[in-house]
Amino acid sequence: MASMNGKAKATRTSAKPDKRPAKTAGAKAKAGGSRNPLLAPWTTPFAMPPFDRVKTRHFMPAFDQAFADNLAEIETIAGMRAAPTFQNTIEALERAGRGLDRVAGVFYNLAGTDTNAAIQRIEREVAPRFAKHSMRVYQNAKLFRRVDALFKKTGSLGLNEEQKRVLERYHRSFIRAGAALDAKARKRMAAIAERLATLGTSFNQNVLADEQEFLLVLTSEADLAGLPDALRAAAGQTADERGHKGKHAISLARSSIEPFLQFSARRDLRERAFKAWRQRGANGGKTDNRGIVAEILALRAERARLLGFKTAADAALEFTMAKTPASVRKLLMEVWRPASRRAGEERDELQLAVQADGGNFKLAGWDWRYYAEKVRKAKFDVDEAEIKPYLQLDNVIAAAFDVAHKLFGVTFTERADLPVYHPDVRAFEVRSADGRHIGLFLADYFARPSKRSGAWMSGWRDQHKLDTQEVRPIVVNVMNFAKGAPGEPALLSIDDARTLFHEFGHGLHGLLSDVTYPAVSGTSVERDFVELPSQLYEHWMMHPQVLRKFGRHTNTGRPVPEALLKKIKAARNFNQGFATVEYVAAAIVDLDLHALKDVDDLDVDAFEKETLSRIGAPDEIGMRHRIPHFQHIIGGYASGYYSYMWSEVMDADAFSAFEETGDIFDAATARKLHQNIYAAGGKRDPADTYKAFRGRLPTTAALLEKRGLTGARP
């Protein structure tokens, strides 16, 4: 998944507010301020959040105070008598809200990684308050006049490229909040924002509730048929943690259920697990998300119309590299056609494997991964069970660090003295080649019931140089890997290892940032560019040069045999029809949902079925995320799930820049990558940023070749 930066820029512009008068809220917060670690100065090393002292009871008073303080800052900026300048208006806005950023950063990271009933109650209350607060900022008429006046004379202000981008970002935020609309429309925009915040919180909490509710307990040896030792160990650990000591269990965490679907010889259990996985958010009752989705889409469509757009997709894509729904659809269909042909070939091959295995049934969704593993073993003499012992979690982490050192000169030193929010979390100090402090990197790798599913990068502080002393970032990578048995290392699948490298690529994007202004720091780039640094970094994980060094067998310590490396390379594009189809199908459904003009009485299930039927999506594959649990499109990826594919067009071409030199760590190419991609943040237009690195823009040809789809049967 993408970067999910839960602080400053994200919270200020995405909304959340105060139902009570600011003075009253502030007065109540001040009463306990001296005892509230969220409000006091952070004296921890590197001003790390004092997780060891923060309690759930501290959040609401801290939010009250932070909202009040931020509104006071906004009124001061808006009420200035002096004519607006970039310094007294835009830079002042960049400095405002830091207290709110701190509180929100801690809270929302915990809400995603280690939640409980009390935190969820606060989240439900604070989400609409944040929306209301954001609108009070971005619909402030006096403040908008100042920003608008500056924007209209951008060319005469003597601004550098980064300052122009920051001014454009702020002006865009005001326009998108409805600041230029009449009073009635502004009021409606504020109401929509508040309602969307409430619905989005409910949606995510419902998905987590369904994930927590399901557990497939395996009680006999027959239930474990086909499961390799590593998966058995992980399932035993899951059972122990969920109160079924001595048994085995499969959860709905992707690192648990996907390998189960891949290896379990029990078709009945695969079907049960698969259907539970697919039905998250669509089980009826209080956690059903289908009505919530319909209302969210209706509100987004209404908001787009108020802003003068035809559809929510048009509004969402205006400031992306893609620009329009038509260009997104063109990209997706260019990939869809060869991918769907390849998926059809794969389906036919798997159906033959079913028959060869004595099965008298039509291949279903819960069969695909199981028979794909059989076919891969037969065709390439390699399976995940053979590879996994060479992918110990600690070794893959070391590989990610080593690649970063070779490319960018940075080093990672674990710091046991820093406070963390959960015992599983590890903290590292990051330093440059010349020994300078670069930032802090936190890693939270293991699944638990209190953590939402998926993988993401977030953080507590962005890099910037707005103050006299440069501020360095604190970022976190969050994943949901299965733990090994007690005393045994966690072993990763190839997909898990890629995920770790992917999120670490996001982490480096934040850590290596070298900009002046927080608004364009690190991952604060266009949505369809943000996945480039992360997807590009995945290429190093699977390179033989990296695997030879860090792929060590968990029992013998021996390196990955050359014969196995050759087999992995030969099989790398196996099942790519499936992988591409399930992703692109989800991206098309996302785009079509937000391209709707009439969203009244939307039947989510019928829409999903009709769209997949129209594009010819195989029933055995479907889409990677069904609408009722499609958290990307409820969050920051609305109309933007395509961006993984858009970025893949670039990452396939970008890695070729290294391959063309004959050295995947070529120093000159790495310097250009560092300067123009990882350090540049959003201070330049992304197309210009990419061309500065590569000298040109790529085409889909590199992507199709990377996925092995260029030879798909006509």
* Three-state SS sequence of 91-111: HHHHHCCHHHHHHHHHHHHHH
Is residue 192, in this structure, part of any structural domain at all? no
Q: Residues 26, 149: one domain?
A: yes
Is residue 46, in this structure, part of any structural domain at all? yes
Angular region, 228: left φ>0, alpha ψ -120 to 50, beta rest: beta
Amino acid at residue number 546: V
Contacts of 54 (CB under 8 A, 6+ apart): 37, 38, 106
Q: What is the pLDDT of residues 106-141, one digit of tens each?
A: 999 999 999 999 999 999 999 999 999 999 999 999
Q: How confident is the model at residue 707 (pLDDT cuts 50, 70, 90)?
A: confident
Q: What is the pLDDT of residues 345-380, one digit of tens each?
A: 999 999 999 999 999 999 999 999 999 999 999 999
pLDDT for the residue 708: 80
Q: How confident is the model at residue 711 (pLDDT cuts 50, 70, 90)?
A: low
Q: What is the pLDDT of residues 23-54, one digit of tens each?
A: 333 334 343 445 899 999 999 999 999 999 99
Range of the domain at 235: 227-279
Is residue 586, in this structure, part of any structural domain at all? no
Helix 22-31 to helix 59-78 angle (10° resolution) is: 130
The residues that bridge with 464 in the sheet, in sequence order, are 471
pLDDT for the residue 550: 96
- Start-end of H helices in 15-116: 22-31, 59-78, 92-95, 98-113
Mean pLDDT of all residues in 596-619:
94
Instruction: List the catalytic residue out of 94, 194, 334, 503.
Output: 503
> Are 266 and 220 in contact, with CB atoms under 8 Å apart?
no
pLDDT for the residue 102: 96
Q: What is the DSSP letter of 528?
A: T
CB burial of 232-258 (b: ≥16 within 10 Å; e: otherwise) equals ebbbbbbbbbbebeebbbbbbbbbbbb
pLDDT for the residue 135: 97
Our count of domains for the chain comes to: 2
Among residues 25, 94, 22, which one has the least CA distance to residue 62?
25
Q: Residues 55, 171: one domain?
A: yes
Q: The tokens of 388 are what?
A: 């996994």
Q: Residues 150, 69: one domain?
A: yes
Q: How confident is the model at residue 710 (pLDDT cuts 50, 70, 90)?
A: confident
pLDDT for the residue 34: 55
Domain at 62, CATH number: 1.10.1370.40
Q: Residues 134, 269: one domain?
A: no
Is residue 82, in this structure, part of any structural domain at all? yes
Window from 33-42, 113-122, 543-552, 670-679 with minimum mean pLDDT: 33-42
Q: What is the pLDDT of residues 618-664, one digit of tens each?
A: 999 989 999 999 999 998 888 999 999 999 889 989 999 999 999 99
Is residue 170, in this structure, part of any structural domain at all? yes
Q: Residues 237, 160: one domain?
A: no
Is the model's pLDDT at 247 over the cut of 90? yes
Torsion on CA atoms 373, 374, 375, 381, rounded to nearest 10: 90
Mean pLDDT of all residues in 559-575:
92
Is residue 171, in this structure, part of any structural domain at all? yes
Q: How far is CA 298 from CA 512, 596, 601, 603, 659, in A?
A: 40, 9, 9, 12, 47
More confident residue, 428 or 600: 428
Window from 30-44, 249-263, 296-310, 576-590 with minimum mean pLDDT: 30-44
Is residue 74, in this structure, part of any structural domain at all? yes
Q: What are phi and psi of 339, to 5 degrees?
A: -70, -40
Is the model's pLDDT at 257 over the cut of 70? yes
Mean pLDDT of all residues in 59-66:
98
Q: What are phi and psi of 625, to 5 degrees?
A: -130, 115
pLDDT for the residue 11: 33
Mean pLDDT of all residues in 295-321:
96
Q: Residues 147, 249: one domain?
A: no
Q: What is the pLDDT of residues 211-246, one digit of tens each?
A: 999 999 999 999 999 999 999 999 999 999 999 999
Is the model's pLDDT at 573 over the cut of 70? yes
Cα–Cα distance measured from residue 3 to residue 457, given in angstroms and rounded to the nearest whole number = 5
Q: Residues 110, 249: one domain?
A: no
Is the model's pLDDT at 552 over the cut of 90? yes
Q: What is the pLDDT of residues 502-533, one digit of tens each?
A: 999 999 999 999 999 999 999 999 999 999 99
Examine the residue annotation and report whether 503 is marked as an active-site residue of this protein: yes
Entry pTM: 0.92
Is residue 448, in this structure, part of any structural domain at all? no
Q: Residues 275, 153: one domain?
A: no
Mean of all residue pLDDT scores within the chain: 92
CB burial of 374-400 (b: ≥16 within 10 Å; e: otherwise) equals bbbeeebebbbbebbbbbbbebbbebb
Q: Residues 166, 21: one domain?
A: yes
Q: Residues 149, 25: one domain?
A: yes
Mean pLDDT of all residues in 471-487:
94
